Amino acid sequence: MTALTESDLEQIVLGWFGELGYTILHGPEIAPEASLSERSSYSDPLLPAHVQIALSRLNPSLPPEALDDAFRKLTRIDSPTLIQRNHAFHRFLVEGIPVEYRTQDRIVSDSARLFDLADLENNDWLVVNQFTVVEGHHNRRPDIVVFVNGIPLGVIELKNPGDEKATIWSAFNQIQTYKEEIPSLFAFNELLVISDGYEARIGSLSSNKERFAPWRTIEGEEEARMRPPIEVLTKGVFRKEHLLDLVSHFVVFEAETDGSLIKKLAGYHQFHAVNKAVETTLTASRPKGDRRIGVIWHTQGSGKSLTMVFYAGKVVLHPAMENPTLLVLTDRNDLDGQLFGTFSRCQEILRQTPVQADARQRLRELLRVASGGVVFTTIQKFFPDPERDGDTFPRLSDRRNIVVIADEAHRSQYDFMDGFARHMRDALPNASFIGFTGTPVELSDRNTKAIFGDYISVYDIQRAVDDGATVPIYYESRLARLDLPEAEKPHIDQEFEEVTETEEEERKEKLKSKWAALEAVVGTEKRIGLIAKDIVDHFEKRLEALDGKAMIVGMSRRICLDLHKALITLRPEWYDKDDTKGILKVVMTGSATDPVEWQEHIRNKPRREKLANRFRNPNDPFRIVIVRDMWLTGFDAPSLHTMYLDKPMRGHGLMQTIARVNRVFKDKPGGLIVDYLGIAHELKTAMATYTQSGGSGKPTLDQDDAVAALLKHYEICCGLFHGFDWSSGKQSPEKRLSLLPFAQDHILSQENGQKRLAKAVSDLSKAFALAVPHPRGIEIRDDVRFFQEVNAVLTKSGPSSGRDPGDMDHAIRQIVSGAIVSEGVIDIFEAAGLMRPDLSILSEEFLADVRNMPQKNLAVELLRKLLDNEIKTRSRKNVVLSRSFSEMLEKTLRAYHNRAIETVQVIEELITLAGEIRKAEKRGEDLGLSEDEVAFYDALETNDSAVKILGDKVLCEIARELVQTIRNNVTVDWSIREDRRAHIKRLVKRILKKNGYPPDKQEKATETVLEQAETLCQDWVA
């Protein structure tokens, strides 16, 4: 049985596209010089004839000059950046291309459609493999390009399933290269797909690694678990009705604070939930409908706000809704502002600008309109005005096409009997209601179901973590760390009622006695001092292992400010009065009546937003924020990984708060909740509600689980170093440095030692980042550092090839000492006590140093890396020579790994090979040939006795003539177009025959020459 290759995978994927009804074409068949050419130039990413035919077919009412204008605008999108050009194209896709034309008496403004969403078969569906694009000096050939009406909407990059080095992230890196080198293709892109045959992910033009996500369904929300992920993605995304729906209704562009654009694509859970919700909306809003659309429960951090945007965008456009009015409802001003901000940034998909009703009268005006509008308000604005309305809110509209979208629909404020919801029903008696929530609705909560109905879609914690949409949350109680007498410890009454920040401000004299009593105990000077000291120690140790930020949640504003004071007493350098500087800040509301010493921490909304942007920026030194209520819901800071909770919380509020640390960020393995007040019972209660509602996965995992994982991976690493004593390395960096060559030698002496260590250390580092600063983690910290250092030197690829920049983009920090390493990577030669070699020389002195190294296994590894790197460099120019050297290297190493030859002997053979490579450097000079000509000289099998008879002079002439002839005749796609390849082959044979090359050797030499030409022609035709 032969191994599955990249070409096999490509053909399998093309077969699935065939099943979906696409026409399949081979890139060279439609290349510019081909008889079935579809474009005049390789620089054209569109299929012009297909585009023009589609424009004409889809826009029969437009005159030819308008169609020409539309085509011209499509092909000449001019913006400074690729993402801006892509944004301009996306607007064409969604809205049509604006055109003007003159009739007899006036100028008409209209738009030209690019796609037909109503009649899918009225579109032209085409998939092309090996589609070459040339731009500037770059010649690139993506594996599969998906065209609809001649426009390349999708690019699929595949990697060899049988090659362990060809991973899904190799495909990701290749896509990034394509975006840089052939951006014209990506100006029209809507979907990027990467796969290695086993794993498959989809992303947008601006998606980083974390945002490339799996697609787990083919039809509906049912996961297709028993099929290969690439099949599920292909059939689930590129099904005709799915593809045009996805790119038309489930893509948004959001502006970052620095003005840059981010393109966001819906996940499969959002796509199917929204489509199901639109169906139930149509049913609920009919004359006989019950006006209950349902509830969408998508766990916090999985994109709930964007799901609301996608839903609003689809409902607004649906013809059956007849230009509806959408009322987006929250129960808090800060949530209203955050959600309004999200909708405002995505207003293109809504086809209108959302409006915020900041007063009751303004709300009434906005809801009395005849149609249309996306209105934001808080539920409290539905309270009747006692002077004007009595106790009944006035009727504002009888229309049935009003949809109320409630955020966090389970809250008590949505009380149907005598709460705000009743007044809302009075105002809008025929409106339909849909609820969105990040936490489950309690089984006993009948009000929510009475207003909104049953679940439409559930996307729980387990699925979100499995999909990489969120990271798991761990829980650690630090109560035992606070050395307080029992009488001084706060105790939370089960009937305790939380007081919000607003109530704290407005009702200072009327606070409930239970709250006031507890606040007094929680806020004692002694206790705050102990917590401050513990947080400093805890977070500084966390930062050693995991880059990121922390949030401290206090019970009252007074406690927050006292804790701030205690922290800056311990760490004065954390403080700066300037909002643009400083590591630690308090974010809270307040007024001029608050104490004067509080005033520097009371900021207006614009100042708080600037601080929020600083905190969201992972590179900003603002690392720790203290809050009471602010930023606990609807606030995203992905690099936030630790939350210190010192506030009584329960239920939905608790679940939403802890979710601040579950956002995906680089390779962040999880978030941590540190409990100083004893909320374990509340977490268990929340968990019971969660599981009763049908959710899978735990809201939090015990930190003991992380410690157990740490110890397990620590034992594996210790096993790899069994019999090796590294204890002396704990004494100083110098000692560790001297140990490293021996440690490497120990690992390399084991079967697959380096590979096993890399996996073990990676797992250990993740577990350490989660567990630290647990005492068991601190105990083994030096050992973890040692294991990381040994792994770092062994994974160093060699002096001439730096690491992939993406590999440096980590949140997990290597806890290695700066005295030894730079950015966590130790120089392999320095660690071995050698001068860094000049690879182009591989001097005798250097080789002699290697020969005399006491660590023989390490010497073999050093030589292997050097020679492998050098051979790879040569393979880009000289196929024959590099193949010869590669075979010699493989043969020697095979014998070494099979223990057929001793380590000393393998070192000698590798040094001999290094000498051969050095000699090869000078052959061109001796023969009077250029580098390209030497490559063709070697392709002529000059070692064969029958060929040698011709003599070097004739062979050199043949090599020169081959270079000149092939260079003058190759075209971009010659190697994969049979007609062009046959032409080059005839020219090569003619040259060989003319110069008396042995006839029986000509066929093999020709094939080798063509192979060599394929390697060099990339530079020649660029």
Query: Same domain for 936 and 923?
Result: no
Instruction: Classify the phi-psi angles of 471: left when phi > 0, otherwise alpha if psi is within -120 to 50, otherwise beta.
Output: beta
In this predicted structure, what is the pLDDT of residue 900?
61
Residue 78 has pLDDT above 90, yes or no: no
Count of all residues that appear for the chain in the document: 1022
Q: Is 861 exposed, middle or buried (0-12, 13-18, 19+ CB in 10 A)?
A: buried
List, for residues 647-682, the tens digit of each pLDDT value: 888 777 888 888 889 888 888 888 888 888 887 777
Of 328-337, 621-630, 734-743, least confident by mean pLDDT is 328-337
Residue 236, token pair as written in the block: 């689930």
CA–CA–CA angle 989, 994, 1000 (5° rounding): 55
The full 3-state SS of 338-382, as one line of letters, equals HHHHHHHHCHHHHCCCCEECCCHHHHHHHHCCCCCCEEEEEHHHH
Of 389-398, 732-741, 900-909, least confident by mean pLDDT is 900-909
- In this prediction, residues 823-842 reach a mean pLDDT of 44
**Highest-confidence segment of 357-366, 566-575, 963-972:** 566-575
Inter-helix orientation angle 879-897/903-927, to 10°: 170
Boundary of a domain, candidates 897, 927, 957? 927
- In this prediction, residues 337-366 reach a mean pLDDT of 88
Quick one: CA dihedral 929, 930, 935, 940, positive or negative?
A: negative
489 lies in some domain: no
* Contact criterion met (CB below 8 Å) for 791 and 828: no
Q: How far apart are CA 913 and CA 919, in angstroms?
A: 10
List, for residues 506-540, the tens digit of each pLDDT value: 544 445 555 667 777 888 888 899 999 999 999 99
395 lies in some domain: yes
Residue 1021 has pLDDT above 60, yes or no: no
Query: Same domain for 666 and 779?
Result: no
* 525: number of Cβ within 10 Å: 10
Q: How far apart are CA 631 and CA 663, in angstroms?
A: 14
The pTM score is 0.76
In this predicted structure, what is the pLDDT of residue 917?
72
475 lies in some domain: no
- In this prediction, residues 713-740 reach a mean pLDDT of 82
In this predicted structure, what is the pLDDT of residue 572?
96
User: Does residue 946 or residue 475 have the better pLDDT?
Assistant: 475
Residue 562, token pair as written in the block: 């006292």
Boundary of a domain, candidates 681, 698, 715? 698
Query: Same domain for 165 and 277?
Result: no
Q: How far apart are CA 32 and CA 175, in angstroms?
A: 24
Q: How far apart are CA 382 and CA 330, in angstroms?
A: 12
Q: How far apart are CA 705 and CA 474, in angstroms?
A: 8
Strands 292-298, 455-459: parallel, antiparallel or unpaired by DSSP? Answer: parallel
Q: What range defines the domain where residue 959 resides?
A: 931-1021
Q: How far apart are CA 862 and CA 829, in angstroms?
A: 8
User: Does residue 95 or residue 803 have the better pLDDT?
Assistant: 95
CA–CA–CA angle 617, 623, 624 (5° rounding): 130
Coil vs helix vs strand at 297: strand
* Contact criterion met (CB below 8 Å) for 841 and 809: no
Residue 128 has pLDDT above 50, yes or no: yes
Query: Same domain for 855 and 971?
Result: no
Coil vs helix vs strand at 263: strand
Q: How far apart are CA 318 and CA 222, in angstroms?
A: 25
Domain count, the chain: 6
Q: How far apart are CA 9 and CA 671, in angstroms?
A: 37
In this predicted structure, what is the pLDDT of residue 877?
74
* Contact criterion met (CB below 8 Å) for 898 and 920: no
User: Cis omega (within 30 of 0) on the bond before 775?
Assistant: no
Residues with Cβ within 8 Å of 949's Cβ and at least 6 positions away in sequence, in order, are: none
Confidence at 800, pLDDT banded by 50, 70, 90:
very low
In this predicted structure, what is the pLDDT of residue 809?
47
Query: Same domain for 26 and 161?
Result: yes
In this predicted structure, what is the pLDDT of residue 826?
37
Q: Which residues of 4-38 are buried (b: 16+ CB within 10 A; e: fewer)?
A: eebebbbebbbebbeeeebeebbbbbbbbebeeeb
Query: Same domain for 253 and 279?
Result: no
Q: How far apart are CA 66 and CA 725, in angstroms?
A: 80
What ranges in 440-510 are assigned the alpha helix state H?
A: 446-452, 461-467, 501-506
Query: Same domain for 876 and 990?
Result: no
66 lies in some domain: yes
Confidence at 875, pLDDT banded by 50, 70, 90:
low
User: Does residue 579 or residue 259 have the better pLDDT?
Assistant: 579
Q: How far apart are CA 425 and CA 142, in angstroms?
A: 56
- In this prediction, residues 22-36 reach a mean pLDDT of 89
Residue 646: strand pairing partners: 554
Residue 259, token pair as written in the block: 């003005």
Confidence at 791, pLDDT banded by 50, 70, 90:
confident
Q: What's the mean pLDDT when you consider all of the chain? A: 82
Residues with Cβ within 8 Å of 455's Cβ and at least 6 positions away in sequence, in order, are: 294, 295, 296, 297, 441, 694
Residue 25: strand pairing partners: 128
Query: Same domain for 717 and 729?
Result: yes
Quick one: CA dihedral 1001, 1006, 1009, 1014, positive or negative?
A: negative
484 lies in some domain: no
In this predicted structure, what is the pLDDT of residue 839?
42
Residue 739, token pair as written in the block: 């140990």
Residue 748, token pair as written in the block: 């390399």
946 lies in some domain: yes
User: Does residue 52 or residue 896 have the better pLDDT?
Assistant: 52
Quick one: CA dihedral 85, 89, 90, 92, positive or negative?
A: positive
User: Does residue 691 or residue 406 have the better pLDDT?
Assistant: 406
- In this prediction, residues 827-852 reach a mean pLDDT of 55
- In this prediction, residues 963-983 reach a mean pLDDT of 77
In this predicted structure, what is the pLDDT of residue 766?
83
- HSE-up of 565 (CA within 13 Å, CB side)? 13
Query: Same domain for 820 and 858?
Result: no
Query: Same domain for 937 and 922?
Result: no
Confidence at 482, pLDDT banded by 50, 70, 90:
low
End-to-end C-alpha distance for the chain, whole angstroms:
39
Query: Same domain for 128 and 158?
Result: yes
Which amino acid appears at position 864 of this protein?
A: R
* Contact criterion met (CB below 8 Å) for 343 and 350: yes
Query: Same domain for 917 and 939?
Result: no
Residue 202, token pair as written in the block: 């989809």
Nearest to 646 by CA among 485, 474, 478, 473: 478
398 lies in some domain: yes
* 968: number of Cβ within 10 Å: 9
Nearest to 403 by CA among 271, 248, 266, 294: 294
Domain with residue 651: its CATH number is: 3.40.50.300
The full 3-state SS of 800-849, as one line of letters, equals CCCCCHHHHCCCECCCCCCCCCECCECCHHHHCCCCCCCCCCCCHHHHHH
Q: How far apart are CA 87 and CA 188, in angstroms?
A: 9
List, for residues 912-949, the tens digit of each pLDDT value: 777 777 777 677 777 788 878 888 887 776 556 656 77
469 lies in some domain: no
